[in-house]
Amino acid sequence: MTLALCTLSHSPLIGVNQPAPDVVAEVDGALARAREHVRAFSPDLAVIFGPDHFNGVFYDMLPPFCVGAGAESIGDWRTSAGPLAVDTEAARTIHRQALAAGLDLAVSERMQVDHGIAQPLEFLFGSIDAVPVVPVFVNCAAPPLGPTERIRLLGEAVGRAVSVSGRRVLLIGSGGLSHDPPIPALEGASPEVAERLIAGRNPDEDTVATRVARVVATAQELAAGTSDRAPLAPEWDAEVMETLARGRLSEFDSWSPEDFAAEAGNAAHEVRTWIAAFAALGTAGAYRVTSTYYRPIPEWIAGFAIMTAVVDEQKVTR
């Protein structure tokens, strides 16, 4: 077995705006099971599909997806700052093979990543540099977004590139499910906000504090039932997870970006990272889901979920 998968939600509010202790304990248990899945697989390499929240990627040069041949975490929301242990040669192999497959995958030799990629690495491996990794940025926050089919095709291209490497590769999808945090839109933005969305790298402390306060307040209002943001959507989340588990990934092709936003909030686009990871796993053959966890957690503005999966060896050998 050369490929395995773990997809999981992230949230900047974990450890900041906590739900009831029994909910925290439940999530801790689910994360422990995910870590055990990863430990048992013992990957040589992790490929993580993750979003950015206008911390490392901006409208000044915004690709739909980009592979990092070098990457550094900015250290937002209690995650560690510093370089990731990027496997540059593996990243360049993925880049070359994705281009050859007709995918216009961008490349960065100096990618900046935020908690969308750093937090899952810390959850699963204990640190951002514990395992060789290839980060793959997927635009989930900055409209206009491309067809969902392209994300599936990206995942398949990455999967084919790594499945022949002979290495044990863990595929990670970070994000989602339903949620609607206060991320500003470029269309209709004030000049100040527009400039921040176009080129807002390395903000000053006051700007960071304002953004943190806004997100925390939104979560508190959502938990209290007084928020005007889109509510979490457990039924939509369940449909997404069932479609992934059954391997019916092409069904997502007809889901438009407008559908995602209308049914599950503007940040539900982060499900794109899950679709890419499952599509990559599917290139090795039929797969089976080995664990599933889900709970809507308004304190974290997250339809919070974790899935693990492996290639179904019995079906592969038939």
Residues assigned a catalytic role: 115, 179
Instruction: State the Cα–Cα distance between residues 109 and 78, nearest whole angstrom.
Output: 25
Alpha helices in the chain (DSSP H): 21-41, 88-100, 115-125, 148-163, 191-199, 205-224, 234-245, 257-264, 271-282, 313-317
Residue 59 and residue 186 in contact, taking contact as beta carbons nearer than 8 Å:
yes
Q: At what angle do helices 115-125 and 21-41 cross, to 10 degrees?
A: 70
Q: Whose structure tokens read 């550094």?
A: 72
Amino acid identity of 299? E
Instruction: State the Cα–Cα distance between residues 235 and 238, nearest whole angstrom.
Output: 5
Q: Is 78 in a helix, a strand, or coil? A: coil
Contacts of 13 (CB under 8 A, 6+ apart): 77, 215, 216, 219, 299, 300, 301, 302
Q: Is 15 left (phi over 0), alpha (psi -120 to 50) or beta?
A: left
SS (H, E, C) 83-104: ECCECHHHHHHHHHHHHHCCCC
Q: At what angle do helices 88-100 and 148-163 cross, to 10 degrees?
A: 120
Residue 287 and residue 314 in contact, taking contact as beta carbons nearer than 8 Å:
no
What is the DSSP-derived secondary structure letter of residue 5?
Answer: E
